[in-house]
Structure 1
Amino acid sequence: MSLAKTVLVQLSSLALGGTQINAVDFAMAVEDYGYRSVLFGPVDTLPPGGPSLLDVASARGVKIETYQRARGVLIKGAEELEQRARSIAADIIHVYGADAEPRTAFWGPCRWGRRPFIHTVYEMFVEPDTYQHTSLIIGTGYLQEELRNRPGPTTLISPPVDVASDAPNGDLAEQFRSGLNHLGKHLIVIVSRLDKWMKAYPVETAIRAMTYLADYDATLVVVGTGTEEARLIELGRRVNRSAAKTLVHFHGAMADPGPAYAGADILLGMGGSGARSLAFGRPLVVQGEWGTSELFCPESSKSLFRRSFWSAEPQLDAPENLADLLKDLIDSPEQREELGRFGREFAVKSFNLDAMSRQLASVYEQSFKRYGRLAWLRDVHREVPELADSMRRRMDPARYRRCPAGEA
C-alpha cells in the first residue's frame, strides 16, 4: 500500500459551525482512502466561553493546531502558511469556507501550482472573485447549474452526515429529555448558531410561532449560542410571560447536539442542521433565511435537497405559517413517524459520510492532474492589484496605520 498523502486543511473559524464540523468529519473519514489531514484554525476565532470546534475534533480523534492570523498583510500570511505546509510535508492544500482567506494559500504553499489547491464553499452562493481554476467543492445543487461554465473543476459533494452515529437512539433521547421534564410533552428543537447573518430571523420566527401554540403541550428548545443570543432570550421570556408557561427554552451550546436531535419530537433546521435532523428519524420543518417554513416530505424533498434546505424567499405571516405546520405534526403521531422514517432513508442515501468521503478522496486524487503551474497562472491576473497593495503595506506599515481608510 502506498504511503498516505498529507492534506493541510485551512479552517476559517474554530467556533461551532456546519462547514467547520464538516471539515473535521471529512478529515476523520478520508484516512480510509489514504489521506492524512492536518487542520489549522485561527486562535482568535475561538469563542470566549463554552464548547468550540476543538471539542468536536477531540471527540472524533482529530487534532487541530491553532495559529495567530497575520491580519491585513497578505504576504506575511502566505509565508506563515507556506512554513506550515513545509513542516508537515503537505501534498495538498484544502481551504474550507468562503471567508477562509484563500489568497494565503494561493500565494503561499500553492504558489506556481506547486501543490493542488482545493476550495470548499458550503455557503449558499459563491463570490465572483473566487478562484476560477482551482478544484471547487460545493454542497448546493443549484450552484452546480450556475457554475457550469466555470473553467476549473466543480464538484457537488453534499455536507456529510455520519449516519452510523447520527441515528434514532432511545438512550440519547432519554439523556436529553430527562433534564427537561419541566417542559411540554412535545419538544420542538432547533439547533443553530444564534448569529444575525442568516440564522437569527428563523429562530425569532420559531419563538413567535409558539405564541400560537399556547394551548398545546409543547415547548420550543433552542440549542446554540451567538451574537443575537441575548436579544432572542429576551424575546423568549416575553413569550413565556404572556402565556404564563414555558413555551420557549434556551439550552445553550452543545459540542455534540446529538442528544438534542434524538430527543426531539419535531426538528426545525436549515442547511447542514437540516440534513443531520433527517438522520435521526424525526420530522423536519425546513426554515428559510427570511421566514419560510416547509415540511420535508416526499413531495418537497427534491426541491429542498437542491436548495440545501434553505431559502432566501420572504414569507408573509411567517410565525402563523410555521405554527400551522407544527400543530398538524403535533396532532398526528402517525404522520410524524412516517415522515421520520422517510427522512432517515433519505439521509442515508444522500448524505452518508462514507460515500461523501469517497467522493472527496477522488477530488484529491484528480487534483494532482488538474492543478499545476498553468492553472495557477490563469488566476494570477486577478491578484495583481491586491498583491501590490499588500507589498506596499508591508514595506511601510506605519503609513497605512496613519492614513484613513481609502486614502492609502
Structure 2
Amino acid sequence: MNILVYPHELAMGGSQINAIELAAAVRDRGHNVTITAPDGVLSSMIRQLGLDYVPIPRAPYFPSVATAFQLSALARRIDADLIHTYEWRPAIECTFGPHFFAGTRMLATVLSMDISHLFPRHVSLIVGTQQLAQTRPAQKIWVLEPPIDDERNKTRDVIAARSRWGFHDDEIVVCVICRLTTDLEKVQGVLEAIDVVGSMASSFKLRLIVAGDGAGKADVDTAAASVNCRHGREIITVTGELLEPDAVYEASDIVLGMGSSALKGMAFSKPLIVQGTAGFWRLFDEQSVNLFLYQGLFGHGGGGRVELRSILEKLAVDKDRRTILGNFGRSVIEERFSLDFMADRLIEIYQQTVSEKQPLDKRLGSMSRTLFDVAKFRAKMEWHALRYAVRGRSV
C-alpha cells in the first residue's frame, strides 16, 4: 500500500512521536509510507528513521483550505491508497481535500482525551482507550493503544545516565517529561511536583528532574530556582526540551506523567505516578491497572499536593516496592503496548479501511454536517479575534 501519514505538527509530543514510530514500523513491513506536516523538531527523527518526508507550509489558521489542496496534490503524486491523519485538524483538511476530490480512503487517530465535535462522522477512527471509543457508538472505531518500542526503550546504563546530571547513588530521583503548557494542566502538575519535592527535600534525599519546553517554562524555572535557593543546593533540575529524553527516564527512580510519556517511563521499569487534571495523582499498581487500561494513563480530580506527597513518601522509603512496581509496569508494556504488535494491528486496520465501501449518501451527509460545524467554528474564532483587536485599539 501507498500510505500518507499526516500528524498535526512536528513539535515534541506523544501523538506525533507515535505517528512517526508506527510509520517506520509499517514501512519496515513492506509498505510505502510518506509523512507530511509543517516542519518542526521531530523532522530530524523522521530523517533518522529514513522515512520519506514532504513538509507543508504552516497555515495561519486551521483548518486550512490551502493545505487541503496541497494534500490533494501530494496524494495524487504518491498515488496514495490511504491517508492516516492524527488529531482533528488534519482529519478535516484531508476530508475536504483528497478524500472529497479523489475519494482517497482515510483513517484518523485521536490520542487526545476527547473527540472534537468537528470530526466527520463517516471517517473511521482509532482511539487510545476503550472509554473514548464508547463516546461514539454509531461511528466505526478501533482501539489501538499508544505503541512503545519496548526494545529501544529499556534500561541499559543507569550509572552513566545519573552521572550526566550529577545524581548521587543515595538520592531518589523523580522525573517528569512533558510539554510545559496548560493543555491537560501539564504545567500545573509540574509546578505541584516542584512544590512537593521541595517540601520533602529536608527529610528525604529527593531530587526532581523536569524535561520539556513550552509557554509555562518560565514559571517552572522560577519555581525551581526558588526551591534550590531555599535549600542552598540543586533539588530541582530543569533541562529544557530534549529530543532524546531516554537518559532522563533511565536516571530516575520514579516517573510522574500521563499518556505516552508515562508509558515510556514504565518501559524503563520505573514505578509510575499518573498525573491528571484538578489534582489527580495515582500510583500505577496492581489495583489501578484495569482502570488505567480502560481510561488511559490520565484522570481527573484528586488530592493534589497532599496525595502526591503521600505516594512519594511511601515509595521513597521502600526500594523493594519500587523495584516490584517497575517490573510490573514493564510487563504491562510488553504484553499490551509493544510497537511490533501495534504495527501489525495497524496494517490490518489499513487493509480493512481500503477495502471498505461507504455509501455516497452517508459520506455526503457527514461532510455537510462537518462543513457547517467548521464554518460556525471559524466564524466564532474570527469574531473573538475581531473583538480582541477592537479592544486592543481602544486601550
In 2, Cα distance between equivalents of 1:236 and 1:359 = 43
SS at match of 2:121: coil
Aligned to 1:97: 87
* CA distance in structure 1 between the aligned counterparts of 2:306 and 2:59, rounded to whole angstroms: 47
Shift of 1:259: 1.5
**Relative to 1, partners in 2 of residues 1:178 and 1:135: Cα closer, same or farther, differing over 3 Å?**
same
Shift of 1:55: 2.6
Whether the aligned pair in 1 keeps the contact of 2:118 and 2:374 (CA below 8 Å) is no
Given candidates 179, 188, 200, the residue that maps to 2:187 is 200
Aligned pairs for 1:343-358 within 5 A? 343-358=329-344
> What letter corresponds to residue 369 of structure 2 in structure 1?
R
Give the equivalent residue in structure 2 for 1:66: 55
CA contact (8 A) 1:113 1:376 kept: no
* 1:329–1:336 CA contact under 8 A, matched in 2: yes
> Mapping of 1:7-406 within 5 angstroms?
7-43=3-39, 46=40, 52-72=41-61, 74-98=64-88, 100-111=89-100, 114-150=103-139, 153-169=140-156, 171=157, 173-181=158-166, 185-198=171-184, 199-214=186-201, 215-313=203-301, 315-316=302-303, 318-372=304-358, 374=360, 375-385=362-372, 404=386
CA gap 1:74/1:222 in 2 versus in 1, 3 angstroms? closer
- Residue aligned with 1:381, SS: helix
**Distance change in 2, residues 1:385/1:181 (3 Å):** closer
8 A contact 1:116–1:372 mirrored in 2? no
Q: CA deviation at 1:388?
A: 7.9
Any stretches of 5+ residues in structure 1 without a counterpart? 47-51, 393-399
- For 1:397, the equivalent position in structure 2 comes to none
Alignment CA distance shift 1:200-1:371 (3 Å): farther
Aligned partners of 1:269 and 1:284 also within 8 Å: yes
The more displaced of 284-293 and 28-37 is 28-37
Q: TM-score, normalised by structure 1?
A: 0.87
What is the Cα deviation at residue 155 of structure 1?
Answer: 0.2
Letter in 1 for 2:151: A
Deviations 1:297-333 (A, max 9, x none): 11111102212110122x34x2232122112111111
Aligned twin of 1:396: none
SS of residue matched to 1:136: strand
Residues 112 and 376, structure 1, Cα contact 8 Å, conserved in 2: no
Contact 1:295 1:325 survives alignment (8 Å): yes
- Structure 2: runs of 5+ lacking an equivalent: 389-395
Given that 1:97 and 1:123 are in contact with CA atoms closer than 8 Å, whether structure 2 keeps it comes out as yes
Could you say which structure has the greater relative contact order, defined with CA pairs below 8 angstroms and 6 or more residues apart?
Answer: 1
Equivalent residue of 2:183, what SS?
Answer: coil
Q: In the aligned structure 2, how far is the partner of 1:179 from the partner of 1:384?
A: 52
- CA 1:132–1:384 in structure 2 vs 1: closer, same or farther (change >3 Å)? closer
Distance 1:295 1:56 in 2: 32
- The share of aligned pairs that are identical, in percent, is 27
Once the two structures are superposed, what CA deviation does each residue of 1:90-126 show, in whole Å capped at 9, x if it has no partner? Answer: 111111113x332221121111672111000000100
Contact 2:38 2:57 survives alignment (8 Å): yes
**RMSD value, Cα:** 2.5
What is the number of residues matched between the two proteins? Answer: 379
For the 8 Å contact 1:163–1:347, the answer to whether it is kept is yes
Partners of 1:278 and 1:343 within 8 A in 2: yes
Q: Which amino acid aligns with 1:188?
A: V
| Separation in structure 1 between the aligned mates of residue 387 and residue 64 of structure 2, nearest angstrom | 17
For the residues of structure 1 that align with 2:146 and 2:197, how far apart are their CA atoms?
30
Q: Distance in 2 between matches of 1:87 and 1:31?
A: 18
2:2 aligns to what SS in structure 1? strand
Question: Is this contact kept in 1: 2:118–2:370, CA < 8 A?
Answer: no
Normalising by the residue count of structure 2, what TM-score does the alignment of the two structures yield?
A: 0.89
Distance (whole Å) between structure 2 residues aligned to residue 74 and residue 339 of structure 1: 46
Change (3 A) 1:338 1:387: closer
